Chains A and B, each alone.
Chain A
Amino acid sequence: EDKVVQSPLSLVVHEGDTVTLNCSYEVTNFRSLLWYKQEKKAPTFLFMLTSSGIEKKSGRLSSILDKKELFSILNITATQTGDSAVYLCAVVGNEKLTFGTGTRLTIIP
């Protein structure tokens, strides 16, 4: 059975701090790993990673994948209150997208 584990489950930091969110996985026939941000409603797409060691970057957010050690990290630098959300990691394998339980990030002004 495919499995995705995210840590920490919850994180509270002050505005301006840098955070690192972790995602490890065990998936049959790994295809890709995706990161989503979920505020009040539907998850919105952040990154898709398919190759090891290649950093994807979008503004203050960046992510990298290690296919040998089976994990990914999502970094957010200079956090803002608008970054408060649940961050979901998901892995594609065998036609299915399997999600982790998410990391709830709270940014204190």
Chain B
Amino acid sequence: NAGVTQTPKFQVLKTGQSMTLQCAQDMNHEYMSWYRQDPGMGLRLIHYSVGAGITDQGEVPNGYNVSRSTTEDFPLRLLSAAPSQTSVYFCASSYSIPMNTEAFFGQGTRLTVV
């Protein structure tokens, strides 16, 4: 029963480097989303997807790209990392638009940009 799997758990990047945070779920959930969590800021929505082939921007999308080619996977790309992107990133999924069911979270990726 894997649920939502995020990789890697920890990452250090140099400013300007690119990388992809992976997120996969095995629950056949339509809705997937990415959040970042910073001290005193709570969880802020970066991008979300209501189904394969459909993505949309959340509250803080700048500097991040996403794609949703399959129901299972929702990778988050940092094209040119900046120190302001140092944060803990969470991927979440739910059966549908999360109005009638809770969101399940991955274990998080702690990213440091130096």
Number of interface residues of A (CB under 8 A): 22
Q: Do B42 and A100 touch (CB < 8 A)?
A: yes
Nearest Cβ distance between residue A42 and chain B, in whole angstroms?
A: 4
A-B residue pair count with CB separations less than 8 angstroms: 58
Q: Do B97 and A95 touch (CB < 8 A)?
A: yes
A99–B40 alpha-carbon span in the complex (Å): 12
Q: Do B43 and A99 touch (CB < 8 A)?
A: yes
CB contact under 8 A between A97 and B41, given known A42-B90, A42-B106: no
Q: Do A31 and B99 touch (CB < 8 A)?
A: yes
Residue of A nearest to B31 (CB): A95
CB contact under 8 A between A101 and B41, given known A41-B107, A42-B90, A96-B58: yes
A97–B103 alpha-carbon span in the complex (Å): 9
Q: Do A41 and B42 touch (CB < 8 A)?
A: no
Q: Do A43 and B99 touch (CB < 8 A)?
A: no
A102–B40 alpha-carbon span in the complex (Å): 8
Q: Do B102 and A101 touch (CB < 8 A)?
A: no
B-contacting residues of A (Cβ < 8 Å)?
4, 31-32, 34, 41-45, 48, 50, 88, 90, 92, 95-102
